[in-house]
Structure 1
Amino acid sequence: MNRVYNWVLHAIHIAIIIFSMIGWLFVATRLYHLVLCSLIIFSWFGVGIVAKKPGMCLVTELQKRVWKSMGIEDRDGYIIYLVERVTGKTPSSKKVDIVTQIFFFSTFILSICLFVRQI
């Protein structure tokens, strides 16, 4: 059953990543993009700070629990896991965090500006 949970969490992760990167592009999805980005920020800075893990992603935490039960080595984060899987190399955790945050906050700001402009 853990394999099913693992694949479901992979699908959720990838859907979140793709939508957070391109959801702002389409007028019809901008509100949903803003909601998703707000939930991500809440996870990173709300739940993460309360749990004493700033930047914590709830989906990643679930994925790590599944990995642990499957005997899979823990990663610093899901993006690092993806980079390792695609390139075969282990990237710098700090660099991945910086690039992730630059992309995320850039698209979030674009989404806010475009959404406000359309109303």
Structure 2
Amino acid sequence: MVRKKNLLSFQKNQSLYLMDDVFLRIVNIFFFVFHSALIIFNLFGWLFARIRKINLITLLLTFGSWVLLGIWKGWGYCFLTDWHYEVLKRLGQSNLPSSYIAFLVERITGWLPSVGLTNTMTLALAILALVCSLWVNFISKKKSNQY
């Protein structure tokens, strides 16, 4: 009787582990899709008139995370990256790059860009997207109202 109880206990723990593993894999896919979509939206959302305000908000939230949360967590801190990396670590991955962009580039192409290149390109493109978003949300509206 004791053996059956131990066997059942083992099976129960194993099924909980499998459920946890399945859940982590689903969360990993969610973060990969959501975070990638957010990056693309931040870069190009300003192009579409109907979603320009939302794009500006997400860009400001992104810069807010990088700068304001960065005061405590380090420059460029992104809570989505932090959460996703925690899931990846629980799935057994290690030696993850410090940048989510570098992670994406490596995942998609197999090439891991240098930290300097990644940070420079990420910041340059994010600033360009913010300038474009500010332009279409405020400056171009003023010019069109003048005519």
Select the structure with the greater relative contact order (CA < 8 A; seq sep ≥ 6).
1
Cα deviations across residues 22-73 of structure 1 (Å, max 9, x unaligned)?
101011111001100010011000112122x110111000011101111112
The whole-number CA distance in structure 1 between the counterparts of 2:124 and 2:133 is: 14
DSSP-derived class of the 2:75 partner: coil
Q: Which position in structure 2 is the counterpart of 1:118?
A: 141
Tell me by how many angstroms 1:85 deviates. Answer: 1.8
Residue 37 (structure 2) pairs with residue 15 (structure 1): yes
Residue pairs, 1:79-118, within 5 angstroms: 79-116=101-138, 117-118=140-141
The whole-number CA distance in structure 1 between the counterparts of 2:100 and 2:76 is: 12
State TM-score, norm by structure 2: 0.76
The whole-number CA distance in structure 2 between the counterparts of 1:34 and 1:48 is: 20
The whole-number CA distance in structure 1 between the counterparts of 2:81 and 2:107 is: 16
Residue 79 (structure 2) pairs with residue 58 (structure 1): yes
The whole-number CA distance in structure 1 between the counterparts of 2:87 and 2:109 is: 23
Number of aligned residue pairs: give it.
118
RMSD across aligned C-alpha pairs, in angstroms? Answer: 1.1
Q: Where in structure 1 are there 5+ consecutive unaligned residues?
A: none
Q: Where in structure 2 are there 5+ consecutive unaligned residues?
A: 1-22, 143-147
Tell me by how many angstroms 1:15 deviates. Answer: 1.1
Structure of larger gyration radius: 2
Structure 1 residue ranges, 4+ long, deviating more than 6 angstroms after superposition: none
Which residue of 1, 9, 26 corresponds with 1:4? 26
